[in-house]
Amino acid sequence: MSTTIAQPSPSETGVAVIRDDAHALAVARELAAELAPGAAARDRERRLPWAEVERFSQSGLWGITVPRSHGGAEVSHTTLAEVTALISEADPALGQIPQNHFCLVDAVRLIGNAEQQRFFFAQVLAGQRLGNAVSETGTANSKVVTTRVSRGPDGQLRLNGRKAYSTGALLAHWVPVAALDDDDRAVLAYVPRHAPGLQVADDWTGFGQRTTASGSVTAEQVLIEPLQLFERHRLFEPPTIHGPYAQLLHAAIDLGIARAALADLRHWVRERARPWADSGVAQASQDPLSLHRIGELVIRLHAAELMLERGGQRLDRAKALEGSADSAQAVTEASIAVAEAKVLSTTLSLDASSTLIELGGTQSTLEEHNLDRHWRNARTHTVHDPIRWKYHVVGDHWLNGSTPRRHASL
């Protein structure tokens, strides 16, 4: 690969150009309405969304975080979170696939040099998608990194290793791979999807988020040029928003799942469910105990939406203060706010999807309706980052003034 490669432009590839936050939200709403009808069938058949992902990236939404200085819309974190929630409500697999993409675009912003930023931001605006190969496999201790970028006797850098849970890699144009270099420093190698020696396997068998293409990646003697190599160890020192940024997107995916479950809950209780015999009412929608339960969920939905918005606003402030004396404190505040949002969206997605089946009744368990996909998706996605540690972080910060640890969560 040469640094003088001709860069495709959005006009040449047919990729739409998103102008601003309002435009991004309008496009996301329209696209979500288009993608939602096929979500249940894709889940049931475990059919990878090749055409849907292409349509998604052609919409221009995958480029909305590119800085304005490089031709992007650079939307707010609040807008990015809502775009993610809207798409996830339609199909949470499609909401999760670009989560890593956005995080790795942010890595280019934070640690890329001028040449890397110019190259990769142009790639993204032209519709190129970034997958991920971050999580290690084949070791009992996930902290042990065996994937390496090493310089051989011929002076060339080569990548070797194996990764798991590589969401979106199969559908990507570039696969950023986390590794260690010869000095045991963390790096990211942005590898072309079809580079010689890189293999992406469709071996994800999770019971939820079935169509995220979260398989494994194997690298054998993959050549790496300097343009492709990023110093990952610089992502968190000095403090940056990279950690809470990733978590905000995870929370937005869970919020989307909760919204979809609640939409089906409304339909089933209104149109399909039977009232309990002791309720004394003719319609399930008038059952006082069901109304109490639904009211609780709706209140929690609104709280989660507001907390996600608040987390996005804290991230906007922290980003604006990058490099200043107030940066570290702003990053801490953003991390805590996003952790609080993550707790609410996680518990809501699980409870809403379970309550759908409870109040929907026996009919709602029939395979033909595939309503269990909401719970399966929520349960699978929410194990990414356990909220038991979010409670701990929030409590420790509030009581003892502690600073959350800074690390990646892709």
pLDDT value at position 5? 46
pTM, two decimal places: 0.95
Q: Is 186 helix (H, G, I), strand (E, B) or coil?
A: strand
**DSSP bridge partners of 177:** 133, 189
Architecture of the domain made up of 242-400: Up-down Bundle (1.20)
pLDDT value at position 226? 97
pLDDT value at position 3? 39
Q: Do the beta carbons of residue 168 and residue 127 sit within 8 Å?
A: no
C-alpha triplet 202, 134, 122: angle, nearest 5°: 90
| Maximum alpha-carbon separation in the chain | 82
Tokens describing residue 210: 């079935």
Report the alpha-carbon distance of residue 259 to residue 106 in Å, rounded: 27
Report the alpha-carbon distance of residue 394 to residue 335 in Å, rounded: 9
pLDDT value at position 4? 40
Question: Could you say which of 2.40.110.10, 1.20.1630.10, 3.40.50.920, 3.40.50.1820 is the CATH number of the domain covering 135-234?
Answer: 2.40.110.10
Report the alpha-carbon distance of residue 168 to residue 206 in Å, rounded: 14
Those residues of the chain that have pLDDT short of 50 are: 1-6, 409-410
Architecture of the domain made up of 10-125: Orthogonal Bundle (1.10)
- What residue segments make up the domains of the chain, in order of their start? 10-125, 135-234, 242-400
pLDDT value at position 7? 57
pLDDT value at position 12? 60
CA distance to 235, 277, 323, per residue, from 168 (Å): 22, 48, 32
pLDDT value at position 143? 60
Report the alpha-carbon distance of residue 323 to residue 328 in Å, rounded: 9
pLDDT value at position 408? 60
pLDDT value at position 145? 78
